[in-house]
Structure 1
Amino acid sequence: MQTAKTSTTPLRQLALHSTTTCSSHATTYGKCILAAYTDVRKDSCKQEFEKFGQCLREAMKRKW
């Protein structure tokens, strides 16, 4: 049985992948949000968000 410190929960996996595997996509999305935060419009950073989300989904897939 794994302990809480060593177990790989989905939330821990998400945190790991969002800060390592998908960091370039996260940075691009964050820069887009930062540039548009004073004039927020629907879908203004949609493309960047979709790329970041796709990266996370791919990174989170379990390999059986």
Structure 2
Amino acid sequence: MQTTKTSTTPLRQLALHSTTTCSSHATTYGKCILAAYTDIRKDSCKQEFEKFGQCLREAMKRKW
């Protein structure tokens, strides 16, 4: 007999953190992409992406 898992999966935690804990970083990254989408170049939003990624890593680290 299988029991239901009450804890959330890592993917659900990532989704939660990307929309709550790291929402300001996600918004900044999204705005950068939106501003540059017609003439996107490699690494044009690298700094914003790295900050967003670091926020997610830190948020996930705190939960584990």
Give the direction of change, closer, same or farther, for the CA distance of 1:40–1:63 in structure 2 (3 Å limit): closer
CA-to-aligned-CA distance 1:18-57 (integer Å, 9 cap, x gap): 0000000000000000000000100000000000000000
TM-score (structure 2 length as normaliser) = 0.87
Q: d(CA) in 1 for partners of 2:2 and 2:55?
A: 27
Going by fraction, where is helix more abundant, 1 or 2?
A: 2
TM-score (structure 1 length as normaliser) = 0.87
Identity of aligned pairs, percent? Answer: 97
* Number of residue pairs the alignment of both structures matches: 64
The answer for unaligned runs of 5 or more in structure 1 is: none
Q: d(CA) in 1 for partners of 2:59 and 2:32?
A: 22
Q: Please provide the CA RMSD for this pair.
A: 2.5
The answer for unaligned runs of 5 or more in structure 2 is: none
